Structure 1
Amino acid sequence: MKEDWLEELIAAADTDKRNEKQIKILQAAVDMFSEKGYASTSTNEIAKKAGVAEGTIFRYYKTKKELLMAIVLPALTKFAAPFFIQSFAKQVFEDSYDSYEQFLRTVIRNRFEFARKNMPILKILIQEVPFHPELKQEVQNVFEKELYSRFVGIIQQFQKQGDVIEIPAATIIRLSVSSLAGFLLTRFLLLPEASWDDEAEIEYTIQFILHGLTPRGDI
């Protein structure tokens, strides 16, 4: 039985679902790139894991780099971007919120579930984006075109209501996103086997973003 993320990847990459060899190559490449990293993985290793000849890989992908792009670019342009626009927008931006805390709580829970379900692909993106300019540009495009202005609008709304301090919206986004990313990376990538109380950690992250480390009574 294929994992959910692989089904999404196959659909995003326009791969013929009947072509089992190509599907096995994609699955093996995701597993190997996620486990060892792109640079440390050879096409021979991918072929062995997929149970195909190495030449079969090059029948579908001219180079290892093309295979990487076949995995991550669809994930960004056809999978991640539509997810942000459709699911994320419906679940987050189309609702009304009484406070920035309520908005933040919705965002964090949404991204937590997304990371939990799609970590193999996200792990490859985290590992490879810094080393491939085209991937970095695509990530920036998705964020800037689909998310940034919406976040700014929400923050400015709560600043007018006096619910958020008057500092640049870009700074608030950076501080909020970096705290959330730090939590998700530690939870799912760095220390996934640790004993986690997810509900408590989500709450700690929210309270840290809202109040920092200063005891509430001393503010």
Structure 2
Amino acid sequence: MTKEMTIQDAFQNVMATRGDVPPKQQRVLAASLALFAEQGFSNTTTKQIAARAEVAEGTVYRRYKTKDELLAAVLAPFVSEVLPNLIEDFATNIVKRDYITRHDLIAAVIQDRLRFAQENRHVLQVLLTELLVRSDVREQLVPQVAPLLSKNLYPVLDRLKVSGELIDWPDDRIAQFMIGTMLSQLARGILANEEIESAGPMMIAFLEKGLAPES
């Protein structure tokens, strides 16, 4: 199986294709993301970022006056390009398969996303923190994600509803319960410092029972 691209790899790929971001600035942003993930936003200094990016500290300050500006510059491409690209890849490789049962769909999605969360837990911790405290980031992200769900996940849900495998609820509600269950496990894994994948079987059983058709 081909190893899935990490969030940091996807971020660097997006940066490399943007003609409006000079190479030094790309290195600064990539170094910022890596260090924020490794040791936390508050524990990271511009001196460390400059050293990781192999630029002078003055180069960082000339473009970004504060660490908050740096964080905003890191988050912007995440919202507009990186996360939508990762979701599109996930949809193509996992969601769009010909699932016959709700168990097959739920198990594939949960197992894949928990594995992805475990491999990217430190970067996701930074993103989750900012999503919780910054309404502007949430407001930018939702319009990017909603069409991807409508295009890729909802047709699968509709097909399973027609075959009697899934409860006849609105697609956005079913997606909300699936995503919310995964996000809560991600938060627990980060806060309790436990293996994010550990609750996978329980989550699958919970969703399979909760989304079963009404008898």
Range class of TM-score, shorter chain: 0.7 to 0.9
**Unmatched 5+ residue regions in structure 1?**
213-218
* Cα distance in structure 2, aligned partners of 1:65 and 1:178: 28
Structure 1 residue aligned with 2:73, among 66, 70, 85? Answer: 70
**Letter of the 2:177 counterpart:** L
- Aligned length, in residue pairs: 200
Q: Could you state the TM-score of these two structures normalised by the residue count of structure 1?
A: 0.74
* Residues 96 and 137 of structure 1: CA distance in aligned 2, closer, same or farther (over 3 Å): same
* Residues 169 and 49 of structure 1: CA distance in aligned 2, closer, same or farther (over 3 Å): closer
Structure 2 residue aligned with 1:9, among 11, 18, 29? Answer: 11
**Letter of the 2:83 counterpart:** A
1:210 maps to what in 2? Answer: 208
Runs of 4+ in 1 over 6 A off after TM superposition: none
* Cα distance in structure 2, aligned partners of 1:197 and 1:155: 26
**Letter of the 2:192 counterpart:** L
Give the 5 Å matches for 1:40-55.
Answer: 40=42, 45-48=45-48, 50-51=50-51, 54-55=57-58
* Cα distance in structure 2, aligned partners of 1:197 and 1:36: 19
Structure 2 residue aligned with 1:114, among 113, 116, 121? Answer: 116
State, as a whole percentage, how many aligned pairs show the same letter: 20
Structure 2 residue aligned with 1:31, among 35, 38, 57? Answer: 35
* Cα distance in structure 2, aligned partners of 1:173 and 1:121: 23
* Residues 66 and 202 of structure 1: CA distance in aligned 2, closer, same or farther (over 3 Å): same
Cα drift, residue 197 of structure 1: 9.0
